[in-house]
Amino acid sequence: MHINLKTKIPGPKSISLMEERKKHVARGPFHSTPIFIEKAHGAKVWDVDGNQMLDFASGIGVVNVGHTAPEVVAAIQEQATKNIHSSINVLAYDGYINLSKKINEAVPGDFAKKTFLCNSGAEAVENAIKIARSYTKRQAIVCFDHAYHGRTYMAMSLTSKVKFYKHTFAPFNPEVYRAQFPYQYRCPTCNGNCSASNTNSNSNSKAISSTKQTETFRSDLESKCEPCFQSFVNMIQGQIGAENVAAVIIEPVLGEGGFIPVPIGYMKSLRKFCDDHGILLILDEIQSGFGRTGKMFAVDHYGIVPDLMTLAKGLGGGMPIAAVTGKAEIMDAPPEGGIGGTYCGNPVACAAALAVFELFEKDKGALLSHSEHIGKIIAKRLDSWKKSYSQVGDVRGLGPMQALEFVKDNNTKEPNKELASKVAKYCYENGLISITAGTFGNVIRILVPLTISEEELEEGLNVIEKGIEASL
C-alpha cells in the first residue's frame, strides 16, 4: 500500500496551519485541499502530520517527471552554487541559450525557430500575444469558450470562465473575441452530431480515446466538427474581418476547461483557415506539454505545425519557468528591449528545465512510453466508470491527461458540481490528492506524475472509484 494515513485528514498540524494561513494570507489564492505538505517524492507526498499520500494533481500538472526528481534536484543544487541570478539582460549565461536550443529542437516545425523564456504560463501567453501583434501589425485575437490562459490582464481576458477568474476584475482587454470550442458533449451547434460530418480518416486516431456518451452519442475525436468550425468562421467574418485577426490561440487539450481535446479534423481546418488569411496559430501547451498526453507535446498527435507555442508547468520540473517558442522571423518581430523581464529565464530554473529534457531523452524516451502506457490504464478505468455509473456523463482525454465529467442525469446532462466536489473530498480524506476542473466545476481531472508506478496508479484509481460509490 502506498497510502499510509496516521491521522484523520486534515491532521492537527494542517488544521492549525490553515488557521494561520487565513490570518496572514490574502484569501484570493484558492486551496483545493486543506492539507499542508512536508515533502514529496515521485508520486508520493507526506503532509505535516506524517500522512503518506498519493498525488494525482502534480502541483497542477507541473511535476511530470515526478516530485523532487533526483536529476532535477542535482541540477538545481549545482547551479545554485554558481549563479542564482544575474539577469539575462545584464550578464548572460549559457543555460538560457542551451534551453532555448533544446525547446527549438523539441517543438514541431521544419524551419528556423527561436525561443523567449519567462516566469509563468500567464506571462508566456502575454508575450505570445505581444509577439503576434508585433509581427502581423494586426490587433484582434481570437480565443475560445472554456479556455484558461492565466490571470494577468491579457491572459485573463482570453480566459473564459468568469467565477472566480474574472469576477470583479473588469474591464478586460479590448480586441479579444471568443469562438465556440468544439466541445462535442455539450455542443450547442450540433449537440454532438458533428461526427456525422467526419470524413477525415487519420492514423493518429489510435492515440486518442473516443467515448460512447449515450446510446446515440459518440464523441468523435477525429471529427472536423464542421458546424462548430463554421460558427468560428462566421464569427470572424461577421464580427472582426479575417484581415484584422493577428492570432488564434487555443489549448489543444483544454486544461482548466476540463481536459477536452480539440478534434483532429477541427484543428486541421483551423490551421488551414489561419494559413489562408495570414493569421498566426498559437497553441497554448502550458498544461498539455511535456509528456502529459503521452507524447512530448499534444500537437504531436495532430500532424499540424503551430506558428507559436506557449510552454510552462512541466518545463521546469517544479521551478517557475515558461517559454514562447516558434518561427524565428515571428519571434524576432518585437524590437530589442521589446520583451523581457528581470527574472526571465532564471539560471537555476534553466538548469532544472535542461534536466527535465534529459529525463525525457533518457533510455530512448522510456518516460514517454510509460506515459502512453499509463494513459491506456487510466482511459480503460474511466471507460468502465462511464459504463457503471450513470452520473459519469463523459470521460475523455489524450494519453494520461484524462478526466471524468459528472452529471445529474445522463439525458439532461445537467452538470453535477456537488458530486465532483464530494468525490475530490473523499479522495483527499482517504489519501489521494485530486483536483477538479471544467467551466461548471463538475470534472475530476487526472494529472499524475508521469513516473507513477502501475501499482501506485491502481491504488489511486481505486480511491476515486470508492469515492464515486460513496458519494452517489
List residues near ligand PLP by CB under 6 A: 60, 120-122, 125, 148-150, 251, 255-256, 284, 286-287, 312
- CA 92 vs CA 115, 354, 451, 461: distances in Å: 15, 17, 33, 46
**What's the CA gap between 10 and 325, in Å, rounded?**
42
Q: How far is the CB of 227 from ligand PLP (least distance, A)?
A: 25
Q: How far is the CB of 132 from ligand PLP (least distance, A)?
A: 15
- CA 300 vs CA 34, 88, 147, 291, 409: distances in Å: 37, 31, 20, 10, 35
Q: How far is the CB of 153 from ligand PLP (least distance, A)?
A: 12
- Taking the least distance from each CB to ligand PLP, the nearer of 49 and 256 is 256
Nearest Cα residue to 225 out of 264, 282, 275, 178: 264
Q: How far is the CB of 128 from ligand PLP (least distance, A)?
A: 10
Q: How far is the CB of 288 from ligand PLP (least distance, A)?
A: 7
Helix (H, G, I), strand (E, B) or coil at 342: coil
Helix (H, G, I), strand (E, B) or coil at 140: strand
Q: How far is the CB of 147 from ligand PLP (least distance, A)?
A: 8
The contacts of residue 44 (CB under 8 Å, 6+ apart) are 2, 52, 53, 54, 55, 67, 456
Read off the C-alpha cell for 63. 511535476
- Taking the least distance from each CB to ligand PLP, the nearer of 281 and 312 is 312
State CA 184 to chain mean position distance. 19
Evaluate whether 408 touches 299 at the Cβ level (below 8 Å): no
Q: How far is the CB of 187 from ligand PLP (least distance, A)?
A: 21
Report the residue closest to ligand PLP, judged by CB.
121
The contacts of residue 376 (CB under 8 Å, 6+ apart) are none
- Taking the least distance from each CB to ligand PLP, the nearer of 141 and 194 is 141
Q: How far is the CB of 398 from ligand PLP (least distance, A)?
A: 14
- Taking the least distance from each CB to ligand PLP, the nearer of 58 and 471 is 58
Q: How far is the CB of 150 from ligand PLP (least distance, A)?
A: 3
- Taking the least distance from each CB to ligand PLP, the nearer of 178 and 373 is 178
- Taking the least distance from each CB to ligand PLP, the nearer of 284 and 456 is 284
- Taking the least distance from each CB to ligand PLP, the nearer of 160 and 371 is 160
Read off the C-alpha cell for 282. 498559437
- Phi then psi for residue 187, to 5 deg, are -75, 120
- CA 55 vs CA 24, 43, 360, 372: distances in Å: 27, 5, 21, 19
Q: How far is the CB of 14 from ligand PLP (least distance, A)?
A: 24
- CA 452 vs CA 6, 222, 406, 426: distances in Å: 23, 29, 25, 21
Q: How far is the CB of 439 from ligand PLP (least distance, A)?
A: 14
Helix (H, G, I), strand (E, B) or coil at 444: strand
Evaluate whether 206 touches 270 at the Cβ level (below 8 Å): no
**What's the CA gap between 311 and 124, in Å, rounded?**
7
- Taking the least distance from each CB to ligand PLP, the nearer of 147 and 463 is 147
- Taking the least distance from each CB to ligand PLP, the nearer of 194 and 309 is 309
Helices 454-471/417-429 angle, 10° precision: 130
- Taking the least distance from each CB to ligand PLP, the nearer of 192 and 263 is 263
Read off the C-alpha cell for 122. 500567464
**What's the CA gap between 152 and 17, in Å, rounded?**
28
- Taking the least distance from each CB to ligand PLP, the nearer of 11 and 317 is 317
